[in-house]
Amino acid sequence: MNFKWLLVVLLAMVMVPAMGCSKRTKTGGEALRQGSGQAATSSAKTVGRYHCPMHPQIVSEKPGECPICGMDLVPIEEAAGQEGKSGVSGLAPVTLSTEARQRMGLKLGAIEKREMIRILRLPARIVPDETRQIRVTTKIEGYVEILHVSATGQVVKKGDPLLTIYSPALVAAQEEYRIALQSGMKPLMEAARQRLINWDLTADQIAAVEKTNRVERTLTLYAPVGGVVTEKTLLAGQKIMPGESLMVVTDCSVVWAEADVAEADLPLVRVGLPVELSFPNQPGQSFSGEVSFLPPGLNAETHTLKARVTVSNPDGTLKLGMYADAGLRLTLGERTVVPETAVMQTGTHSYVFRDDGAGKLTPIEIRIGVRSDGYYEVLSGVAAGDRVVTSANFLVDSESSIRAAMESPSGDKMR
């Protein structure tokens, strides 16, 4: 007899007093004589016999009481030929009376059809919206005379001055335009004016030359959008060249949240899914967004996909680099489901005890799918309308194991 068989027998014997068996208990010698005689006759599976639900080795040809616990014996007419029909190795159907079920606290639940919604929780991080980043450059050679933005991370508004440049070439181009204005030659005026426009002088700056007939020594570059200066590569007095990157201004009124999707969850995620973002430093507050892009490749190190979630951030509450918990709401449609409390799992198999009527509980192997809100999706094994055990499963499982062992040829058939 192996250790698991011994553990099951001890569990069944210990549970009898806890279940409140108050009926008369026969003397030890009397129980031993009756039990041994009835157990000997139980090897022949004859229809019309009775046994104790808690001690299936006690078998009788007529109704009576269990000599060990005093429980009423119940019919075992359907025990014959049941071995191997449940499809669960090491288990056998169990027949329990109404009284026995009440003592065990046994409850039943239904296999049903219902809408399944799964919330997929993913770690995420706030990053800039790359479509709202502008790199500030200049088309002229010159020197940084005044740097209005002194540090990375500084917040600027649209139209705020960023830096002032002194450029000898720009001064010469303004002088040419001033002379062209004085000459009155329209082709020359248009050519000189277009050169200033090409060097990003604003209409107001050009108008100032026309009005004052004076040349501006410096050129000021202004913020093209409001946001945060996320990159700055220059210092005051530094020489700059045409096309050189000076700084990057990021509009943070809309940001991205990059959520790490595990490889196993990839079939569930699609563009357009609604997402709720929550943050550890803002309990009770959430931000809404949706999946806007799924890149074609996975991270080679983590084997996760960075799903891009677009989130509105008009007041700037969300800061770049913040960590978030992204909840993706997945509507799976109507599925056949079983209460999760009904499912017994061995590591490689899942099964339930189905109520087949007349007190009979049959172990049925099932295949389960996704889990959501206290239910498992049922892929096979049971159908909608079936009733299964949802409470006292382990007691029924122990009884089923004992029954299977007693009915096996060796008397030691275990899972």
DSSP string, 22-39: -S----HHHHHHHHHHHH
- Above 90 in pLDDT, residue 123? yes
Q: 3-class SS at 292?
A: strand
Q: What amino acid is encoded at 349 in this protein?
A: H
Contact between 138 and 200 (Cβ < 8 Å): yes
Contacts of 44 (CB under 8 A, 6+ apart): none
Q: For the chain, which domains are there? A: 120-129+252-331 (2.40.30.170), 136-247 (2.40.50.100)
Among 248, 239, 237, 235, smallest CA distance to 169 is for 239
Per-residue pLDDT tens over the stretch 184-239: 899 999 999 999 998 888 888 899 888 988 888 888 899 999 999 999 999 999 99
Q: What single string gives the DSSP state of each residue in 106-153?
A: -EEEE-EEEEEEEEEEEEEEEEE-GGGEEEE--SS-EEEEEES--STT
- Count of H helices and E strands in the chain? 7, 24
Among 352, 139, 92, 347, smallest CA distance to 241 is for 139
> CA-to-CA distance for 184 and 182, rounded, in angstroms?
5
Contact between 107 and 389 (Cβ < 8 Å): yes
Per-residue pLDDT tens over the stretch 162-183: 999 999 999 999 999 999 998 8
Per-residue pLDDT tens over the stretch 44-82: 343 457 777 666 667 787 888 888 777 788 776 443 333
- Above 70 in pLDDT, residue 258? yes
> CA-to-CA distance for 191 and 181, rounded, in angstroms?
11
> CA-to-CA distance for 56 and 60, rounded, in angstroms?
10
Give the bridge partners for 115, in sequence order.
334
Q: Which residue has the tokens 């040419």?
A: 176
Q: What pLDDT does 57 receive? A: 65
Q: What amino acid is encoded at 251 in this protein?
A: D
Whether this model's pTM surpasses 0.75: no
Among 398, 351, 395, 363, smallest CA distance to 83 is for 363
Give the bridge partners for 289, in sequence order.
275, 311
Q: What amino acid is encoded at 254 in this protein?
A: V
